[in-house]
Chain A
């Protein structure tokens, strides 16, 4: 099984080396590709210096565009499985084999690593949790499927979902919307419990104003996405 780790990175000079070395050590059976989203700090220099495998975007596309580039890479080079691991060190690569095995065993199209099934490890701030519960409810209402961690970036996609995401991926705040897109295209999605760590360095790109925009935009996007109807 050809497996790929997509590492979107924007100004992650503080944590990218640690993240990549962690992956090389704990998930040696996975290939990786770093998608440098036109970082303005010296992230690119660090990638070159260490000889890491990377794709460097000529303009900044945001997390959606960067991750979609990763899915296009996965489709182009024929990967069976692609998983997103954020460049800020929040995702623990130890869970990747577990996710891959789970995906293969249960013949799934996508596996999401959820922080909230066993509630261990970094649980995110209270405010974010309210938002997350809201999206869980909304997605359940629209698709009938309960996803406990719809904003989790730790998600593993099989060949069908790789193809789907390579063609269609939201520009920003992609996680809840893409879960609905996948569900509406008849993809089989399951979650397994994972433990996430706090951000290992650098600064999160989400602030209060953006949060309001996020809630409104993603809600509308999810509703419209659900309107596209179920396709098998």
Chain B
């Protein structure tokens, strides 16, 4: 069971979270592509928490007795998914940087040896 007080606190936090992320994108500190999950998540969570009975229904579907345990569990799963997708993006970026470094070096070689 989630108290109304807790629900309101969480909703307020989610709103702050969403606003913070939007502001960072607006300032061009964050790339929109990676940040979409962080935007959709508060919205989805907000809806789930706001609509009464949703939390209990999801717990039932998953076979979890305690609503709070379900919240922790799903929160953890989503975090893992996000971290994994960041790992994938990071790997890709490091490969691209390596390639850039190599090509820049070869370009510099060519320039140096054409004089």
Which A residues form the contact surface with B (CB < 8 A)? 58-59, 168, 170-172, 216-217, 220-221, 224, 227-228
Which B residues form the contact surface with A (CB < 8 A)? 22, 25-26, 28, 31-33, 36, 39, 96, 99-100, 103-104
Instruction: Indicate if the CB atoms of A220 and B96 lie closer than 8 Å.
Output: no
Instruction: Indicate if the CB atoms of B26 and A172 lie closer than 8 Å.
Output: no
Contacts of A58 in B (CB 8 A): 99-100, 103-104
Once bound together, how far apart are the Cα atoms of A169 and B80, in whole Å? Answer: 31
Chain B residue at minimum C-beta to C-beta distance from A59: B96
Contacts of A217 in B (CB 8 A): 32-33, 36
Contacts of B22 in A (CB 8 A): 224, 227
Once bound together, how far apart are the Cα atoms of A106 and B97, in whole Å? Answer: 44
Contacts of A216 in B (CB 8 A): 36
Chain A residue at minimum C-beta to C-beta distance from B40: A216
Contacts of A168 in B (CB 8 A): 28
Once bound together, how far apart are the Cα atoms of A216 and B33, in whole Å? Answer: 11
Contacts of A59 in B (CB 8 A): 96, 99-100
Contacts of B96 in A (CB 8 A): 59
Instruction: Indicate if the CB atoms of A221 and B26 lie closer than 8 Å.
Output: no
Instruction: Indicate if the CB atoms of B25 and A224 lie closer than 8 Å.
Output: yes
By DSSP majority rule, is chain B's interface helix, strand, loop, or mixed?
helix
Once bound together, how far apart are the Cα atoms of A224 and B19, in whole Å? Answer: 11
Given contacts A217-B33, A220-B32, A220-B39, 6 further A-B contacts (CB under 8 A): A59-B96, A170-B32, A171-B33, A224-B26, A224-B32, A227-B26
Once bound together, how far apart are the Cα atoms of A217 and B37, in whole Å? Answer: 11
- Expressed in whole angstroms, the minimum distance between the Cβ of B98 and any Cβ of chain A is 10
10 contacts between A and B (CB under 8 A): A58-B99, A59-B96, A59-B99, A59-B100, A216-B36, A217-B32, A217-B36, A220-B32, A224-B32, A227-B26
Given A59-B99, A171-B31, A227-B26; A220-B104 close (CB under 8 Å): no
Once bound together, how far apart are the Cα atoms of A10 and B7, in whole Å? Answer: 50
**Contacting residue for A228 out of B26, B33, B39, B99, CB 8 A:** B26
Instruction: Indicate if the CB atoms of A220 and B100 lie closer than 8 Å.
Output: no
Contacts of A170 in B (CB 8 A): 32
Contacts of B25 in A (CB 8 A): 224
Contacts of B31 in A (CB 8 A): 171
Contacts of B103 in A (CB 8 A): 58
7 closest residue pairs by CB, A with B: A58-B103, A59-B96, A224-B26, A221-B32, A224-B25, A59-B99, A58-B100
Instruction: Indicate if the CB atoms of B36 and A172 lie closer than 8 Å.
Output: no
Once bound together, how far apart are the Cα atoms of A170 and B99, in whole Å? Answer: 22
Once bound together, how far apart are the Cα atoms of A170 and B32, in whole Å? Answer: 9
- Expressed in whole angstroms, the minimum distance between the Cβ of B25 and any Cβ of chain A is 5
Contacts of B104 in A (CB 8 A): 58
Once bound together, how far apart are the Cα atoms of A221 and B100, in whole Å? Answer: 28
Among A171, A220, A221, chain B packs the most CB atoms within 10 A around the CB of A220
Among B25, B32, B39, B96, chain A packs the most CB atoms within 10 A around the CB of B32
Once bound together, how far apart are the Cα atoms of A224 and B32, in whole Å? Answer: 10
- Expressed in whole angstroms, the minimum distance between the Cβ of A186 and any Cβ of chain B is 18
Given A220-B39, A224-B22; A172-B100 close (CB under 8 Å): no
